[in-house]
Amino acid sequence: MARTKNKRVAGVSKLDHRVTVQLKEWAGLSGFYGYKDMDLEQVLALLNTEGWKTEVDSSDPNARILIMLKGDTVRKGKFVMDDKGRALKLH
């Protein structure tokens, strides 16, 4: 009997990985240190300090919307799953 992967679970983990990579990039741009070995929850906790407010909207299981705010600085990102199971960044 052949095994098949659960594409929905794999897709969610791909989206979460892409979100984590994007948040780590933003952490570096924002002057934070020590974020490279952190997971998603730890990076979010780090990015919600020093006046930054970071939100990840995961209400849609096939998309993630990121917003990072501090004063006039706004960073946005959106990731979606395509029909082939790839996590793509939309601009």
Number of compact structural domains in the chain: 1
Within a domain: residue 39? yes
Q: Which residues pair with 79 in a beta bridge?
A: 64, 89
Within a domain: residue 69? yes
Within a domain: residue 1? no
Within a domain: residue 2? no
Cβ neighbours of 8 (radius 10 Å) = 12
pLDDT tens per residue, the chain (91 residues)? 566 555 555 667 899 999 999 999 999 999 999 999 999 999 999 999 999 999 999 999 999 999 999 999 999 999 999 999 899 999 7
Domain range for 65: 7-90
